[in-house]
Chain A
Amino acid sequence: MPKAIIDVADVKVSFGAVKALDGVSLAIMPGECVGLVGHNGAGKSTIVSVINGGLSPHQGTILGEGELIARFGINAARARGVRCVFQELSLCPNLTVLENTRILHRHLGGLGWRKRAKQVIERSLDTMFPGHGIASDRIVGDLSIAERQMVEIAMAFSDGGIPPRLIILDEPTSSLDASLAEQMLAHVLRFVASGGSVILISHILHEIITTASRIVVMKDGRIVAERPAEAWTENGLVEAMGSVVKGEAHRRAIRDLAEAPVVVEQIGHGIPFRAKRGEIVGLAGLAGHGQTDMLMKLHASSGADWLPRRDPAVTFVAGDRRLNGVFELWSILKNFSVASLGDLASRGVVNADAEVQRAGEWKQRIEIRTPNMANRMLSLSGGNQQKVLFARALATRAPVVLMDDPMRGVDVGTKQEVYEIIRQEAAHGRTFVWYSTEMEEVCLCDRVYVFREGAIVAELAGDAVTEENILASSFTGVAA
Chain B
Amino acid sequence: MRRTVSADAIRLAIPALSLAILLGAVFWLQPRAMSYIGLNLLFNLAVPIALATIAQMLIMSVNDLDLAMGTFVSFVACVTATFLSEEPFFGVLILAGAVAVYAMLGVVIHLRNLPSIVVSLGMSFVWAGLAVLLLPAPGGQAPEWVRTVMTMKPPVAPMAIVASVVIAVVAHFIVMRSSLGVLIRGVGGNQRSVERAGWSVLAARAAAYALAGVFAVLAGISLVGLTTSADANIALRYTLLSIAGVILGGGEFIGGRISPIGAVIGALTLTLAGSFLSFLRISPDWQIGAQGAILIIVLALRLLLNRLENRDKRR
Chain A residue, CB-CB nearest to B183 = A103
Q: Which residues of A contact B197 (CB under 8 A)?
A: 74, 78, 103-104, 106
Q: Is A379 an interface residue (CB 8 A)?
A: no
Chain B residues 183-211 with CB under 8 Å of chain A are: 183, 185-186, 188-190, 192-199
CB atoms of B190 and A99 under 8 A apart: no
Contact (A94, B198) CB under 8 Å given A103-B183, A113-B179, A135-B1: no
For residue B315, CB closer than 8 A to chain A, the reply is no
* Interface residue B7 (Cβ < 8 Å from any Cβ of A): yes
Q: Is B113 an interface residue (CB 8 A)?
A: no
Is the CB of B255 closer than 8 A to any CB of chain A?
A: yes
Q: Is B4 an interface residue (CB 8 A)?
A: yes
Cβ–Cβ contact B198 & A92, under 8 A: no
- Contact B255 A75, beta carbon cutoff 8 Å: no
Quick one: which of A52, A54, A109 contacts B179, CB cutoff 8 A? A109
Interfacial residues of chain A within 140-170, with CB under 8 A of chain B in the complex: 142
Give the complex CA separation of A135 and B3 in angstroms. Answer: 12
Encode A65-106 as 1/0 by CB contact (under 8 A) with B: 000000000110010000010100111111100011011101
Residues of A within 8 A of B256 (CB): 92, 94-95
A139 at the interface (CB under 8 A from B): yes
Inter-chain contacts of B186 with A (CB < 8 A): 92, 95, 99-100, 103
Q: Which of B1, B4, B7, B194 contacts A92 (CB 8 A)?
A: B194
User: A139 CA to B8 CA in the complex, in Å?
Assistant: 9
- Which of B1, B177, B179, B189 is close to A94, meaning CB atoms less than 8 Å apart? B189
| A138 contacts B by Cβ under 8 Å | yes
Least CB separation from A108: chain B residue = B179
Is B189 touching A93 in the complex (CB atoms < 8 A)? yes
Q: Measured between alpha carbons, how far is A114 from B177 in the docked complex, in Å?
A: 8
With both beta carbons as reference points, the residue of chain B lying nearest to A75 in the complex is identified as B198
* Contact B183–A94 (Cβ < 8 Å): no
**CB–CB A106/B199 < 8 A:** yes
User: B185 contacts which of A74, A89, A94, A106 (Cβ < 8 Å)?
Assistant: A94
CA of A92 to CA of B184 in the docked complex: distance in angstroms? 11
Known: A104-B197, A106-B199. A93 touches B190 (CB 8 A): yes
Chain B residue numbers with a CB within 8 Å of A108 are: 179
Encode B156-198 as 1/0 by CB contact (under 8 A) with A: 0000000000000000000001010011011011101111111
Contact B196 A92 (CB under 8 A): no
Closest to A98 in B: B182
Interface flag for B257 (CB, 8 Å): yes
Bound-complex Cα distance A103 to B192 (A):
12
Closest to A104 in B: B197
- CB contacts (< 8 Å) of A84 on chain B: these are 196
Docked Cα-Cα span, A74 to B182, in Å, equals 20
Identify which of B185, B198, B257 contacts A78 (C-beta below 8 A): B198
Which residues of A are found within 8 Å of B182, using beta-carbon distances?
Answer: 95, 99, 102-103
A109 to B188, CA, bound (A): 20
Docked Cα-Cα span, A352 to B194, in Å, equals 47
By a CB distance below 8 angstroms, the chain A residues around B4 are: 135, 137-139, 142
Q: A99-B182, A103-B183 are contacts. A142–B3 as well, Cβ < 8 Å? A: yes
Name 30 A/B residue pairs within 8 A (Cβ), A-sorted.
A52-B196, A54-B196, A74-B196, A90-B192, A90-B193, A90-B196, A91-B190, A92-B185, A92-B193, A92-B194, A92-B256, A94-B185, A94-B189, A94-B255, A95-B182, A95-B186, A95-B189, A99-B185, A99-B186, A102-B179, A102-B182, A103-B183, A103-B194, A103-B199, A108-B179, A114-B177, A137-B4, A138-B4, A139-B4, A139-B8
Shortest 8 CB-CB distances between A and B: which pairs?
A92-B189, A94-B189, A92-B190, A90-B193, A75-B198, A94-B256, A92-B186, A99-B182
- 4 additional A-B pairs beyond A90-B190, A103-B182, beta carbons within 8 Å, are A93-B190, A93-B255, A135-B1, A139-B4
